[in-house]
Amino acid sequence: MNKLAGKKVLEADGLNKTVALADGGTLTILQDIHLSISGGETVAIVGASGSGKSTLLALLAGLDEPSAGTVRLMEQDIFKLDEDARASLRGASLGFVFQSFQLLPALTAEENVMMPLELAGRKDARATAVRWLERVGLGARLKHYPKHLSGGEQQRVALARAFAMQPAMLLADEPTGNLDVATGQQIIELIFELNRESGTTLMLVTHDEHLAEKCGRQVRLQQGRIVSDARSASAAVVS
């Protein structure tokens, strides 16, 4: 049961991002972004390369700062918080899955999943890490380092690490971008399966239209603007 179903998890209002160019001009990456996401939704952010998808994800997570506009995560304006408070809110509310996996090479699969749990003060960090690695099919790979894991296995570790924290929302940036088609399909199915089980709100950044169609909502970016925000009649909200 998703306790946040129907409640606002993430809101962006008037979000803009511009950067200065060497010639004195400016480049507009995002402009006038308005977005509201409720608990239990599955949302795909789609668009061509360079449309601003990854920049939008970074702003929504508070990993980058906008030139204008606000972002409210769990009803808190993240850009009114100092860096420590913002990181604390992000750690408590968001899970991340990246195209490049972002595993620490000097840590085993088990230790990679344990680390954020330990930083959060969880005394059951090891048991929780083992349980989630077993859930994603890596019970026999606990002591393996990333270099000894395939790309699909590394992404499974990343998924275990993200879901183990029981985030209100999972942000995934091109989660199958570095995987072959067959492995990517397995990871896609696992993401949605874990999402249903956990009752997590899911936002995917992808250029894969097939993946986007699995989400209940598709937000399309073009040249830094939202040009469409469509809901799928057949997709169900996690409850």
Q: What is the pLDDT of residue 236?
A: 43
Domain span at residue 219 reads 8-231
Nearest to 14 by CA among 81, 84, 72: 72
Decide if pLDDT at 34 tops 60. Answer: yes
pLDDT given at position 49 = 87
8 A C-beta contact, residue 98 and residue 109: no
Q: How confident is the model at residue 209, as a pLDDT?
A: 84
What is the pLDDT at residue 238?
A: 43
Decide if 238 is inside a domain.
no
CATH number (domain holding residue 160) = 3.40.50.300
Instruction: Give the C-alpha separation, 53 to 58, whole Å.
Output: 9
Q: Report which of residues 17 and 211 the model is more confident about.
A: 17
* pLDDT tens per residue across span 196-235: 888 899 999 998 888 899 999 999 999 999 999 998 764 5
Question: CA angle, 167 as apex, 188 and 162 as ends, to 5°?
Answer: 50
Mean pLDDT of the chain: 91
Domain count of the fold of the chain: 1
For strand 94-98 and strand 169-173, is the pairing parallel, antiparallel, or unpaired? parallel
Residue 3: the pLDDT is 62
User: What is the per-residue pLDDT across 192-201, written as a single tens digit (0 to 9) for each?
Assistant: 999 888 889 9
pTM here?
0.86
Mean pLDDT calculated for residue range 105-111 = 97
Q: Does the pLDDT value for residue 176 go beyond 90? A: no
Model confidence over 53-80: pLDDT tens digits?
A: 999 999 999 999 999 999 999 999 999 9
239 assigned to some structural domain: no
The pLDDT value given to residue 233: 60
What's the CA gap between 46 and 17, in Å, rounded? 18
Q: Which of 189, 123, 203, 119 lies closest to 161, judged by CA?
A: 119
Please check whether residue 2 lies inside any domain of the structure.
no
Q: What is the 3-state secondary structure (H, E, C) of the chain?
A: CCCCECCEEEEEEEEEEEEECCCCCEEEEEEEEEEEEEECCEEEEECCCCCCHHHHHHHHCCCCCCCEEEEEECCEEHHHCCHHHHHHHHHHHEEEEECCCCCCCCCCHHHHHHHHHHHCCCCCHHHHHHHHHHHCCCCCCCCCCHHHCCHHHHHHHHHHHHHHCCCCEEEEECCCCCCCHHHHHHHHHHHHHHHHHHCCEEEEECCCHHHHHCCCEEEEEECCEEEEEEECCCCCCCC
- Tell me: pLDDT of 1 over 80: no
- Among residues of the chain, what percentage have pLDDT more than 90? 74
145-168 average pLDDT score: 94
Q: Cβ of 147: how many Cβ atoms within 10 Å?
A: 8
Place of tokens 């929780």: 128
Domain membership flag for residue 189: yes
Is 89 within the bounds of a domain?
A: yes
